[in-house]
Structure 1
Amino acid sequence: MDIDRRTLLKAGVGLLGGAALTACGGNASPAFVSPSGAEVRAAEQARRPGAIRSFRLVAAEDQVDLGGPVVRTWAYDGRIPGAPIRVSLGERVRATLTNRLPVDTSVHWHGLALRNDADGVPGVTQQPIKPGSEFAYEFTAAHPGTYWFHPHSGTQLDRGLYAPLIVDDPLERLDYDEEWVVVLDDWLDGVTGTPEEVLAELSRGMGMGHAGMGRHMLMGATSPLLGGDAGDVQYPHYLLNGRIPSQPQTFRAKPGARLRIRLINAGGDTAFRVALAEHRLTVTHTDGFSVQAVESDAVLIGMGERYDVLVTLKDGVFPLVALAEGKKTVARGLIRTSDRMAAPGPGLRPRELDGEVIGYDQLVPREALRLAPKRPDRTIKLELSGSMMAYDWAINGKKYDPATIYPVRSGERVRLSFVNRTMMWHPMHLHGHTLALPSGARKDTAIVLPNETLEVDFDADNPGIWMIHCHNIYHAESGMMTLLGYQQL
């Protein structure tokens, strides 16, 4: 039987089970707000939902052309990336997913502060969407910016199930002529195996008694920008808007045009260093929220992160190159403003890649977006642990357990202290909220470097039960996930 929101609300959700909804690390209290409870409904009404915009998605197995290689994979409506969903600020998204996959699935609307029962985490905010059934997500687009969506079911993200979600602000004061949405990805599905095979291989680890490296394990990928080890997985392809570098997508514009590029990293295990040949980038937004404009040669974008940049285009043909950080290969697209010139070959490495790369400390929010000064009411320490040798990624010494929920109360200023005890970088993502970096910039996904601590703050203003996890899909599925829950008042 199909499960829709009406069925879910009638059932009172009951997803985590009575014990888990009143558990915190095994204790019997406190009780937490239900993902479909009155507090969640009240928060949604406070967003003043506008007109409904309806969309339909079909998740299915299909053959997809990557610009030469044709792969059998899973995708939304047979496209990689899937068709963008685009709405205006305040409109309600009604997105109905039909599941034609052979397994359960879900959709997580990454970065949006939306109602909890639309967050798309099976077993937490909804029941899994069974093969052959449909599920209708409905939520208000409460903040403008660049977002995206993908499953929150196993390793499905590392197939082709992802697409942009853009929320336009009719009152935005940003001057540009053209726009290009760019989705980056690392790809192996249907080429060297499946993500499920990769996870099984990595989970065996590299400790004593293991037979040795599997074909998907990557050793020796290092990056000073990422503090050392750059990634775990060997990918045969890196894609820009679903295309391999030798057959790139070409964006056409006029010389002198002001171009807005919305960059999204949909990869499973890869950070990208992105630069446009012969141009400087002006960063205007990160993870949907605006920052004071700052110039740089390149941006480093971890899995789940987004950056909006502006460029004033010169006359010619210019490669937009996304270096797979530490992995010595690239994704690539072209910007063409002239038909007189030949495109440079795929081996061209823009000198800008070796120039200035913007850091978090250079991201300063516009004053209207800065959190009001306030001491944290609560600090939650999240110690990140694990290694490639044992592949035992965890938070506070525990692999993901839905019975472990860290409590907060509505109205609190909460500090998350990410303490990285590992030799690996981790892009940590909080659902349903934006975090304030030490610089004040607002993000929902932030890189925590090896053996460092990153403290970020947020206001507890969106009741429900929310996931915190590493956006390396293999780290998350191996255990680097946990939950945060709002206590009932």
Structure 2
Amino acid sequence: MPPITRRALLRGTAALGGATALAGLASCSRSGGTAVGPTAPAVTAAEDARRRAGGQLVTARLTPRPVTLDLGGRAVDTWAYGDAVPGPLLRARAGDLLRVEVDNQLPVDTSVHWHGIALRNDMDGVPGVTQDPIGAAATFRYEFTVPDPGTYFYHPHSGVQLDRGLYGVLLVDGPDEEDADQEWVVVLDDWVDGTGRTPDQVLESLRAGGGGGHGSMAGMDHGSMMGGGGGMQSRLLGGSGDVRYPLYLVNGRTADDPATLRGRPGQKVRIRVVNAGSDTAFRVAVGGHRLTVTHSDGFPVTPVSTDALLIGMGERFDVTVTLGDGVFALVAVAEGKNGGGLAVVRTGAGTTPGPDAWARHRGQPALLGADLTPTESVRLPDRAVDRRHDLVLAGTMASYRWSINGRMFPDDEPLPVAEGERVRLRFVNRSMMFHPMHVHGHTFALATGGARKDTVIVRPMEALEVDLDADNPGQWAAHCHNIYHAESGMMTTLSYRA
């Protein structure tokens, strides 16, 4: 029997059972009003409004299953959506209907969450909140309209399965795409599965005070940690993460046998960067080049040039570079940890960078997503805030418990909202760990600067405010995208009420 996760126990769902439980969300309330369930008429109405004339049907199939993967000279046993990581690249145009059949060949329940997509609530892929889990040997069809152009990705929302090979990229094209000669998709990951530990064993070790399976950190609070990744701290983020990873990947390859990205001198390349890691922020740079940041979490920003970009778990950035002549390192430095990923950019003759090329970029100045400003086309219209919610983020390494507003999911207090409201969320970080906070089903605007995002880093002992328009009814997860924090309680629900 698969282990019962906190999500499977959400508010008595297991006792109610199946579709009855999800429909039952519409009759239970601890915060006043009636909850709008995932299958409510308002959810269907919002989906109908996203449909566009001329939209096409795009179909795909995902088969999560146990596999043996070659990560670049090292074979590991893991779970994946195919014979490689990342999984299959999915692509559609804004307004298309995406239909994905999921055939679960894993020995446990799973799900698929479509990270960053403002989709219909019953397709969001959060067991116990929006759907029943997909059982072993069972199938499930996800079908929804993709409304906004951008770079997105998909992954399970079941336990710590994201920290295996279960992730892939979803690209949604718009009518006015970036003018570039080439496009590269670059996916970053921290890797432990098949190296002597599974992610579930890592989580068990953290809960036992074992510091992610390497060394002993029992009884230590995050306020006194120097970071689980190798004794360093991030200059920009404070803490570095809880798990010490033996491998870091770029497009499924280690730095010992990196992927190669080929181009020609003078070409303008659009690079879509996704951080699919579970516990690691990455500092990304291309040796000898400047990066021009054009999009954050799918939405355009006022272009800004930088030597390096710091990307939290779950964040995505589009950048452009004009390629020089030679061989260069595209590096992903594991922030505050002792390691990094590497890909090789080759436009001509030259020596291939060594596997430690990432180390030369450690600590260099970097841009954060919160530093960006939106283009006028995606700026939220000015209006008064109708409702405010504080989300106080706290946690301890001693018992490895992470909470929002003093409660651990699923014993959280949902955050009530009503359709049509402008809602301000104030993330207040009272821990010494950074938290990339992700809100499902919506994009928000940073209250200072206004950049549109769905995932944003909240640094230790700081507060950050975001605004969103409550225009997508349902029950929506809001959580830290450190998967070990989310699975240990740092999650709540943005709960539409009628």
TM-score range, shorter chain: over 0.9
Residue number in structure 2 paired with 1:15: 21
- Residues 342 and 358 in structure 2, CA contact (< 8 A), matched pair in contact too: no
- Equivalent of 1:357 in 366, 370, 393: 366
Residue number in structure 1 paired with 2:138: 133
Structure 1 vs Structure 2 CA RMSD: 1.9
SS in 1 for 2:64: strand
Unaligned runs of 5+ in 1: 1-10
1:58-73 pair list within 5 angstroms: 58-73=63-78
> Aligned equivalents of 1:273 and 1:308: distance in 2?
14
SS in 2 for 1:332: strand
Matched, 1:220 2:225: no
- Residues 297 and 352 in structure 1, CA contact (< 8 A), matched pair in contact too: no
Matched, 1:410 2:410: no
Judging changes above 3 Å, is the alpha-carbon distance between structure 1 residues 329 and 225 closer, same or farther for their aligned structure 2 residues? Answer: same
Deviation at 1:387, TM superposition (A): 1.6
> Aligned equivalents of 1:221 and 1:23: distance in 2?
46
SS in 2 for 1:86: strand
Matched, 1:337 2:347: yes
Residue number in structure 1 paired with 2:6: none
Deviation at 1:246, TM superposition (A): 1.1
Unaligned runs of 5+ in 2: 1-16, 219-226
Matched, 1:280 2:290: yes
- Residues 56 and 95 in structure 1, CA contact (< 8 A), matched pair in contact too: yes
Amino acid at match of 2:278: G
- Residues 255 and 356 in structure 2, CA contact (< 8 A), matched pair in contact too: no
Matched, 1:430 2:439: yes
Judging changes above 3 Å, is the alpha-carbon distance between structure 1 residues 147 and 37 closer, same or farther for their aligned structure 2 residues? Answer: same
SS in 2 for 1:393: strand
> Aligned equivalents of 1:212 and 1:291: distance in 2?
43
Amino acid at match of 2:379: R
1:375-390 pair list within 5 angstroms: 375-390=384-399
Deviation at 1:350, TM superposition (A): 7.4
Amino acid at match of 1:71: V
| More displaced stretch, 461-470 vs 366-375 | 366-375
> Aligned equivalents of 2:183 and 2:369: distance in 1?
24
- Equivalent of 2:333 in 323, 333, 337: 323
> Aligned equivalents of 1:223 and 1:77: distance in 2?
34
> Aligned equivalents of 2:360 and 2:336: distance in 1?
17
Deviation at 1:461, TM superposition (A): 0.5
Deviation at 1:376, TM superposition (A): 1.0
Matched, 1:190 2:194: yes
Deviation at 1:21, TM superposition (A): 4.1
- Residues 46 and 120 in structure 2, CA contact (< 8 A), matched pair in contact too: yes
Deviation at 1:218, TM superposition (A): 4.5
Deviation at 1:328, TM superposition (A): 2.2
Deviation at 1:403, TM superposition (A): 6.8
1:261-272 pair list within 5 angstroms: 261-272=271-282
> Aligned equivalents of 1:203 and 1:46: distance in 2?
44
> Aligned equivalents of 1:15 and 1:335: distance in 2?
51
Amino acid at match of 1:424: M
Amino acid at match of 1:148: F
> Aligned equivalents of 1:349 and 1:51: distance in 2?
42
SS in 1 for 2:104: strand
Matched, 1:47 2:58: no
Q: What is the CA deviation profile of residues 411-448 of structure 1, one whole-angstrom value per residue up to 9, with x for unaligned ones?
A: 10000011111111100000000010121100000000
Deviation at 1:349, TM superposition (A): 4.3
Judging changes above 3 Å, is the alpha-carbon distance between structure 1 residues 349 and 330 closer, same or farther for their aligned structure 2 residues? Answer: closer
Deviation at 1:220, TM superposition (A): 2.6
SS in 2 for 1:199: helix
- Residues 364 and 439 in structure 1, CA contact (< 8 A), matched pair in contact too: yes
- Equivalent of 2:40 in 21, 37, 41: 37
- Equivalent of 1:163 in 164, 168, 172: 168
Matched, 1:467 2:466: no
- Equivalent of 1:179 in 157, 180, 183: 183
> Aligned equivalents of 1:161 and 1:402: distance in 2?
27
Amino acid at match of 1:309: V
Residue number in structure 2 paired with 1:307: 317
Matched, 1:289 2:299: yes
> Aligned equivalents of 1:257 and 1:177: distance in 2?
6
Residue number in structure 1 paired with 2:62: 57
Deviation at 1:170, TM superposition (A): 2.8
SS in 1 for 2:401: coil
Deviation at 1:352, TM superposition (A): 5.7
Amino acid at match of 1:159: R
> Aligned equivalents of 1:231 and 1:126: distance in 2?
30
> Aligned equivalents of 1:351 and 1:200: distance in 2?
34
Residue number in structure 1 paired with 2:462: 452
Matched, 1:154 2:159: yes
> Aligned equivalents of 1:180 and 1:161: distance in 2?
20
Amino acid at match of 1:187: W
> Aligned equivalents of 1:112 and 1:155: distance in 2?
21
> Aligned equivalents of 1:154 and 1:17: distance in 2?
23
Residue number in structure 2 paired with 1:6: none
Deviation at 1:392, TM superposition (A): 1.2
- Equivalent of 2:249 in 239, 242, 250: 239
Amino acid at match of 2:164: R
> Aligned equivalents of 1:48 and 1:238: distance in 2?
39
SS in 2 for 1:291: strand
SS in 1 for 2:357: coil
Normalised TM-score (structure 1): 0.92
> Aligned equivalents of 2:139 and 2:112: distance in 1?
12
